[in-house]
């Protein structure tokens, strides 16, 4: 016998995820917890990033559902990035000013920013207008972008050398963008004031995105741009904190050695925070979901080794600087992936994120951000947290929601072991009580045994929940089955 589960948000009843199974007692893998052995105190906030694309526009069929999902998440430090493939939304001065005219235009940038700020109201966000206008770079010929704002233009990001090597032109551009959204407007290059009416608070501003890929910058050039931008924005909002580096590949230590060394910055420039990214990928294009799991978790472990190495650099050079790993996800092939994505993939990717959240909490990382709210075919569909076909959040979203609603900074991580190589067990002492997090890393059912948990409440996301909200239930008995790629939290009764 077992009790039925109920959905949150008044959803339909589904079958039990953790099923007592007395006949398999000999095969059960026990779980041990030592509540008196604290191995770390978390300072890690689970969150996500939102990258601009046409699905965020008001004419999108999933526009309303997407921003409702973002609001319902209620996360802190959500990262918003208007990205270069859509120049009209990412760049608000697409043509260089002349002696008589400027070309500022926020008509495509504003709507998504307004929707984002409304959906994250009450929670500090990280804003990253990441794209430098291409006319500020030296290029062989002018770069012409499409007139259609919804047509991606991956060739916009051209040039490696700035035409103004002092970086003042770049800094002034971002200062005007910042002022448009935080100070009600700005004065342009010709002395004309442009009124916006916006007075948002931007507590965090990230300087550029993946500069190691976008324009292939050196750490030296990036640091020079960072200093110039931060100096200008500090004049406008002294209270704003800044996030730097934001590299796609954390494998090159010179980025961290150079940027985190205060001697390489102008006097007075703060090193508030750094960021970098991680995506797990299949080992080959021939892999299927049964083998994705090994590639993803092996790569995650390799990434964690690099995080520890980077943390040693940070602690040595800039111990007061925080770290945001603000893009975590999986990419099956490339942005144009057109293959069939199996339903279980979303659970696998969510399980990998949950695993990294646990391990990053042990290391002491400040922010673990899942990437990204909306993707769709031709736009990295495999990193989406929304089902672009029906407007429902998928399993990746619900795993993040599960983590965010149960864990956060201040939680104690205590020693736990599932005695199964397939299931990660991590116990937490939180402000709302003792909890056990179970993560099945495999595409198979695992039989576990936990004694003394009769009647404990549980929440789970697994292959049976699909695009539906988190399932809830209660443990009956000591033995139960954990479904493939499931992420489950058991609230321990005191």
pLDDT digits (tens, 9 = 90+) for 106-123: 999 999 999 999 999 999
Per-residue model confidence (pLDDT) at position 388: 96
Model confidence over 439-494: pLDDT tens digits?
Answer: 999 999 999 988 888 889 999 999 999 999 999 999 988 877 899 999 999 999 87
Q: Is 321 left (phi over 0), alpha (psi -120 to 50) or beta?
A: beta
Q: How do beta strands 487-491 and 433-440 pair?
A: antiparallel
Q: What confidence score (pLDDT) does residue 22 get?
A: 37
- Pairing state of beta strands 479-482 and 423-430? unpaired
- What confidence tens digit (pLDDT) does each residue in 404-428 have? 999 999 999 999 999 999 999 999 9
| pLDDT tens string 301-327 | 999 999 999 999 999 999 999 999 999
Alpha carbon of residue 395 to chain centroid: 15
pLDDT digits (tens, 9 = 90+) for 76-104: 999 999 999 999 999 999 999 999 999 99
Closest to 400 (Cα-Cα) out of 120, 41, 45? 45
Q: So what's the pLDDT on residue 337?
A: 86
Pure H helices in 100-207: 110-119, 168-182
pLDDT tens per residue, range 334-358: 888 888 899 999 999 999 999 999 9
The pTM assigned to this predicted structure is 0.93
Q: Using alpha carbons, select from 325, 300, 297 the residue that is nearest to residue 311.
A: 325
3-state SS track over 215-268: CCCCHHHHHHHHHHHHHHHHHHCCCCEEEEEEECCCCCHHHHHHHCCHHHCCCC
- Per-residue model confidence (pLDDT) at position 27: 63
Span 248-283, pLDDT tens digits: 999 999 999 999 999 999 999 999 999 999 999 999
- Confidence (pLDDT) at 179: 98
Tally of residues, the chain: 494
- Please give the full DSSP string across 359-380, using - where no structure is assigned: HHHHHT-SEEEEE-S--BTTB-
- Tell me: the pLDDT tens digits for 186-214? 999 999 999 999 999 999 999 999 999 99
Rounded to whole angstroms, the Cα distance separating 401 from 72 reads 9
- Domains of the chain with bracketed CATH: 6-41+413-491 (2.60.40.1180), 45-409 (3.20.20.80)
CB atoms within 10 A of CB 57: 17
- Strand order across the 6-7 sheet: 6-7, 471-474, 457-461, 487-491, 433-440, 423-430, 412-417, 32-41
Q: Token pair of 183, please? A: 């100070």
Give pLDDT tens digits for 231-251. 999 999 999 999 999 999 999
pLDDT (tens digit per residue) in 11-66: 333 333 333 333 433 367 889 999 999 999 999 999 999 999 999 999 999 999 99
Residue 9 has pLDDT above 60, yes or no: no
CA-to-CA distance for 164 and 159, rounded, in angstroms? 13
């Amino acid at each position: 016998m077992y009790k039925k589960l109920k959905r949150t948000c008044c959803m339909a009843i589904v079958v039990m995820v953790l099923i007592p199974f007395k006949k398999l007692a000999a095969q059960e893998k026990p779980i041990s917890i030592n509540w008196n052995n604290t191995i770390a105190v978390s300072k890690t906030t689970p969150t996500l990033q939102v990258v601009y694309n046409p699905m965020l526009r008001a004419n999108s069929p999933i526009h309303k559902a997407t921003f409702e999902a973002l609001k319902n998440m209620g996360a802190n430090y959500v990262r918003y990035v208007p990205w270069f493939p859509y120049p009209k939304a990412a760049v608000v001065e697409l043509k260089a000013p002349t002696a008589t005219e400027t070309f500022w235009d926020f008509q495509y940038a504003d709507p998504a920013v307004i929707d984002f700020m409304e959906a994250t109201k009450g929670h500090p966000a990280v804003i990253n207008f990441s794209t430098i206008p291409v006319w500020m770079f030296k290029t062989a010929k002018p770069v012409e972008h499409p007139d259609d704002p919804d047509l991606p233009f991956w060739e916009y990001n051209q040039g490696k050398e700035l035409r103004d090597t002092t970086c003042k032109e770049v800094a002034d551009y971002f200062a005007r963008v910042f002022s448009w959204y935080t100070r009600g407007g700005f004065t342009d290059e010709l002395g004309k004031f442009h009124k916006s009416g916006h007075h948002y608070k931007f507590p965090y501003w990230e300087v550029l995105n993946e500069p190691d890929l976008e324009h292939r910058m050196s750490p030296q050039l990036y640091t020079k741009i960072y200093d110039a931008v931060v100096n200008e924005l500090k004049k406008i909002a002294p209270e704003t904190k800044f996030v730097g580096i934001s590299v796609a590949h954390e494998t090159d230590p010179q980025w961290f050695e150079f940027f985190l060394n205060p001697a390489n910055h102008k006097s007075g420039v703060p090193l508030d925070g750094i960021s970098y990214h991680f995506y797990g990928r299949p080992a080959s294009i021939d892999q299927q979901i049964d083998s994705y799991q090994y590639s993803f978790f092996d790569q995650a472990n390799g990434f964690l080794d690099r995080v520890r190495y980077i943390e040693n650099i940070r602690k040595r050079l800039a111990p007061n600087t925080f770290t945001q790993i603000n893009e975590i996800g999986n990419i099956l092939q490339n942005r144009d992936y057109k293959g069939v994505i199996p339903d279980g993939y979303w659970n696998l990717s969510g399980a990998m994120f949950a695993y990294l959240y646990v391990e990053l909490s042990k290391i002491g990382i400040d922010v673990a951000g899942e990437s990204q709210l909306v993707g769709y075919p031709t736009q990295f569909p495999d990193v989406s947290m929304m089902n672009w076909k029906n407007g429902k959040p998928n399993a990746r979203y619900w795993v993040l929601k599960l983590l965010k609603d149960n864990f956060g900074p201040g939680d104690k991580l205590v020693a736990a072991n599932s005695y199964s190589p397939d299931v990660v067990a991590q116990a937490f002492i939180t402000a709302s009580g003792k909890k056990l997090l179970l993560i099945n890393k495999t595409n198979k059912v695992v039989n576990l045994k936990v004694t003394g948990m009769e009647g404990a409440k549980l929440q789970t996301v697994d292959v049976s929940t699909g695009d539906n909200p988190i399932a809830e239930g209660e443990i009956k008995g000591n033995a139960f089955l954990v479904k493939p790629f499931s992420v489950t939290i058991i609230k321990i009764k005191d």
